[in-house]
Structure 1
Amino acid sequence: MPPYSSDAPGDRARYDRATAHLDAPFAVVDLRAFDANAADLVRRARGKPIRVASKSVRCRALLERVLERDGFAGIMSFTLAESLWLARSGFPDVLLAYPSADRAGFAELAADPKLAAAVTVMVDDVAHLELIDAARAGGTEEIRVCLEWDTALRLLGGRVRIGARRSPLREPAQLAELARSVVRRPGFRLVGLMAYEAHVAGVGDAVTGRPVRSAAVRAMQAVARRELAARRAEAVRAVRAVAPDLEFVNGGGTGSVGHTAAEAAVTEVAAGSGLYVPRLFDHYRSFRGRPAALFALPVVRRPGRAGARTGVVTVLGGGYPASGVAGRDRLPVPHLPRGLRYDPQEGAGEVQTPLLGPAADRLRVGDRVWFRHAKAGELCERFDALHLIEGDRVTRTVPTYRGEGRTFL
């Protein structure tokens, strides 16, 4: 765990002092918390390199900062266009985590030696290879390929499935067959294998107020880890029999770094959300990070009778839901000051958000309320800059992807 815990009242005063010259809304990253979270990820990775998930950061300056640290190596990107942009910007090792149908991007990749050397694309179907070949447009560079396979836990003879719906490849024999297709096909080189266990890495096992559900999640994850470790070892053996020079085997995510790194078959782990620690990562027994990325919204109204203590204020904006199944856990959470909650009749609104609670009576028009997003990098789609805080001052302001005019999804 980080060597300190959050001092919420102190943090609020410090953030307010650091940003007194700014007009809200704006977003910040607390570098002390960011660096402590990075150090904790390295500790949990047990000496194996961490590939940074850019989807969870979406800021080149902060990607550069974390990759300067020992224990981090390479980027896991989320679109081909982003991968090419990062490679052109000087990042030498970019693994695209999802298959792409970006024909123009593949044509660019196949025509540029620098890009082809830096970017590895994801494949889980011969159709992906055919699409890339059709898109080459005369480009002759060898395309680096990684295979992804399905990690879902299947119970009761396959009738119950737990896990994200990603690759159609599940059995080692299926992986070996696709590996042979890659190796035989001119213009491709098989360099990696990836498996993301979303049901372990992305599901909290200690949800406050839900002990029964948390116990069920822990039981499921224990079974899933054992099953996956055995199947992953077999899958790696099968693929290495076809491609003995495989460069990496990637697995895991912020919530499973320690468990995944312990598998001998895994050569590197992935993580990104653990740097910002959004609200969905508050419910894990294996680690406790410190919130590093926040956004501030200004109080613009005090509904009710003038001067009365009504326990309600209204802030500007705030309707920034996260992706996934719609629900309360996808909303940002009022973080500082403590003791604020949404009005159940309005929730987080597009242009205004009422907040209820005794703390509202201590807020004046113009004061800030500090929020945490439900997810990590999605915050950066709402703001064009991140103000980096060290101590009680902003030491640098850096653009997000959006601030650089890049909106990849």
Structure 2
Amino acid sequence: MKRRSLLGLAGLGLLGGWALRPSDHGQPYSPYFATLNQLLRRENPGVPLLVVDLERLDQNAELLAQQLGARLPLRLVAKSLAATGLLDYLAKKLDTQRFMVFHQPQINQLAQSFPQADLLLGKPLPSAAALHFYQQLPPASAFDPPRQLTWLIDSPARLGQYAELAKALNQPLQIAFEIDIGLARGGFADPAALAAALSWLRDTPTLLRVRGLMGYDAQLAHTPFWVTQNVAFTQSTARYRSFIAAAEQFPGLWPQQPLLNGAGSLTYALHAKGDSALNEVSVGSALLKPSDFDTDLLSAQQPALWVASPVLKVLPGQLPFLDSGYSLLQGWNRNRQQNYYLYGGQWPAEPLSPSGLSYDPLYGRSANQERLIGSASTGLHVDDWVFLRPQRSEGLFELFNQLVLLRNGRLVGSWAAHNRA
């Protein structure tokens, strides 16, 4: 358990006086979570769960399809949807077999689970990781890497490494170039740098085959006050088109129908309604909408993913080393009346229901028995469930064995989670 110093309490002058006394934030479950709590009390294995609301997921998927229409094909981001069942469900619902992948073991997983898939790397991998993919691919696999897998190249050095890898494997490798369109996170910095790489490919016999470009523009969702989002989008799009223009000077290398990938959950809506340079967009988190994606562009989407954990203990509020003084703290702040200990913890998630629960900054976090504080107004008891809203889905699924599926107030199945996205 990580403990914080309690000495700072004395300097608060009885915590700012009763005039600044916090109001009681505790409330019982909302009807939605009251129903879910009763459901989990009846039908669950008694361990922390990830719950996917399929009705909300469907609504988010339908909204996404309406926004993109037929003009912008969709590529599902596997790291944000890291469960084969979830990817399969969404791929069928959204009529796509395109996936963006970020982790070598997941490339092999998807090649096995989706043998007709089109896989694009979302980040450049070491050539050793790429080699490991080929070593783990079964000889009889129906997945055809030269046609269905596109590796990402971000520098001249990595271009040379993948050329050597293709030679060692004695098979063609498809590549796309990562370009910097304003995020300043690497990739080819300007059209001249891309042209130099293409010149090297033109003059050097290799088994590499150029497929297109990938330019990520997450910075557009976080423009500073002195730049409007529309201006930033226009500038980013112009940068993307300048890279396309440079690539088109190499007709022997540049395909007639190149892949022009970009966007992401935070920015796909700009491309859907604006003058985009892309011919496909990548989206993942917007379909589940964790709290990091609470933005104006995603205001119509609904949260569809919850962490659920049973309450192991309900104890009167207390802190180590402050036995007698804690009653003053409780009297001043009714949101410290009770301590609630959960099964597991330290998830990237914030308590949501019942309302008024929070982590205790004076006590710290725990991955084994997460401690929440709240008032008696929550009405929580041992074996009730606390629901937390994830901040993000990336890296979350690997902390759970499965996703539990909710529809119309009933548990209707589960999907196994991937080991890591």
Same fold by TM-score greater than 0.5:
yes
1:286, CA displacement in angstroms?
A: 4.9
Matched, 1:9 2:20: no
The amino acid across from 2:61 in the alignment is: A
The amino acid across from 1:381 in the alignment is: E
For 2:150 and 2:232, locate their aligned partners in 1 and report how far apart those are by CA, in whole Å. Answer: 28
Change in CA separation of 1:151 and 1:137 when aligned onto 2, cut-off 3 Å:
closer
For 1:273 and 1:120, locate their aligned partners in 2 and report how far apart those are by CA, in whole Å. Answer: 22
Change in CA separation of 1:192 and 1:333 when aligned onto 2, cut-off 3 Å:
same
Q: Deviations over 1:41-83 (max 9, x none)?
A: 2233243111111110100111111111246440000023322
- Among 39, 53, 66, which residue is 1:30 paired with? 53
Name the SS for the 1:241 alignment partner: coil
1:141, CA displacement in angstroms?
A: 1.8
Q: Deviations over 1:129-148 (max 9, x none)?
A: 32224345742221010111
Counterparts of residues 142-157 of structure 1 (less than 5 Å) = 142-152=172-182
Matched, 1:101 2:126: yes
Name the SS for the 2:296 alignment partner: coil
Q: Residue 316 of structure 1 corresponds to which residue in structure 2?
A: 343
Q: Residue 171 of structure 2 corresponds to which residue in structure 1?
A: 141
For 1:367 and 1:345, locate their aligned partners in 2 and report how far apart those are by CA, in whole Å. Answer: 25
Q: Deviations over 1:185-235 (max 9, x none)?
A: 42111112110012124x4x8xxxxxxxxxx45835343212111111221
Q: Residue 247 of structure 1 corresponds to which residue in structure 2?
A: 258
1:96, CA displacement in angstroms?
A: 0.7
For 2:205 and 2:356, locate their aligned partners in 1 and report how far apart those are by CA, in whole Å. Answer: 60
Name the SS for the 1:27 alignment partner: strand
Work out whether residues 312 and 360 of structure 1, in 8 Å CA contact, stay in contact via their aligned partners in 2: no
- Among 112, 116, 122, which residue is 1:88 paired with? 112
Matched, 1:302 2:314: yes
Matched, 1:44 2:87: no
1:356, CA displacement in angstroms?
A: 2.4
Name the SS for the 1:120 alignment partner: strand
Work out whether residues 380 and 400 of structure 1, in 8 Å CA contact, stay in contact via their aligned partners in 2: yes
Name the SS for the 1:68 alignment partner: helix
1:246, CA displacement in angstroms?
A: 4.1
For these two proteins, the number of residue pairs brought into alignment is 363
1:164, CA displacement in angstroms?
A: 4.8
Which has the larger Rg?
Answer: 2
Q: Residue 116 of structure 1 corresponds to which residue in structure 2?
A: 146
Q: Residue 21 of structure 1 corresponds to which residue in structure 2?
A: 43
1:361, CA displacement in angstroms?
A: 4.3
For 1:104 and 1:76, locate their aligned partners in 2 and report how far apart those are by CA, in whole Å. Answer: 16
Change in CA separation of 1:229 and 1:398 when aligned onto 2, cut-off 3 Å:
same
Counterparts of residues 184-263 of structure 1 (less than 5 Å) = 184-201=204-221, 203=222, 216=224, 219-242=227-250, 243-261=254-272, 262-263=274-275
For 1:300 and 1:387, locate their aligned partners in 2 and report how far apart those are by CA, in whole Å. Answer: 21
Percent identity between the aligned chains?
27
For 1:385 and 1:218, locate their aligned partners in 2 and report how far apart those are by CA, in whole Å. Answer: 44
Q: Residue 197 of structure 2 corresponds to which residue in structure 1?
A: 178
Could you state the TM-score of these two structures normalised by the residue count of structure 2?
0.79
Matched, 1:382 2:399: yes
Name the SS for the 1:191 alignment partner: strand
Higher relative CO (Cα under 8 Å, sequence separation at least 6) belongs to: 2
For 1:104 and 1:150, locate their aligned partners in 2 and report how far apart those are by CA, in whole Å. Answer: 23
1:21, CA displacement in angstroms?
A: 1.6
Q: Deviations over 1:157-207 (max 9, x none)?
A: xxxxxx35232x122222222233345542111112110012124x4x8xx
Moved more, 123-132 or 250-259: 123-132
Work out whether residues 14 and 391 of structure 1, in 8 Å CA contact, stay in contact via their aligned partners in 2: no
Change in CA separation of 1:297 and 1:96 when aligned onto 2, cut-off 3 Å:
same
RMSD across aligned positions (CA):
2.7
Change in CA separation of 1:172 and 1:359 when aligned onto 2, cut-off 3 Å:
farther
Change in CA separation of 1:338 and 1:179 when aligned onto 2, cut-off 3 Å:
farther
Work out whether residues 164 and 198 of structure 1, in 8 Å CA contact, stay in contact via their aligned partners in 2: no
The amino acid across from 2:209 in the alignment is: R
For 1:317 and 1:66, locate their aligned partners in 2 and report how far apart those are by CA, in whole Å. Answer: 29
The amino acid across from 1:139 in the alignment is: L
The amino acid across from 1:54 in the alignment is: A
Q: Residue 5 of structure 1 corresponds to which residue in structure 2?
A: none
1:345, CA displacement in angstroms?
A: 1.4
Q: Residue 354 of structure 1 corresponds to which residue in structure 2?
A: 371
Work out whether residues 104 and 129 of structure 2, in 8 Å CA contact, stay in contact via their aligned partners in 1: no
For structure 2, the 5+ residue unaligned runs are 1-28, 319-329
Q: Residue 87 of structure 2 corresponds to which residue in structure 1?
A: 63
Change in CA separation of 1:353 and 1:274 when aligned onto 2, cut-off 3 Å:
same
Name the SS for the 2:120 alignment partner: strand
The amino acid across from 2:249 in the alignment is: A
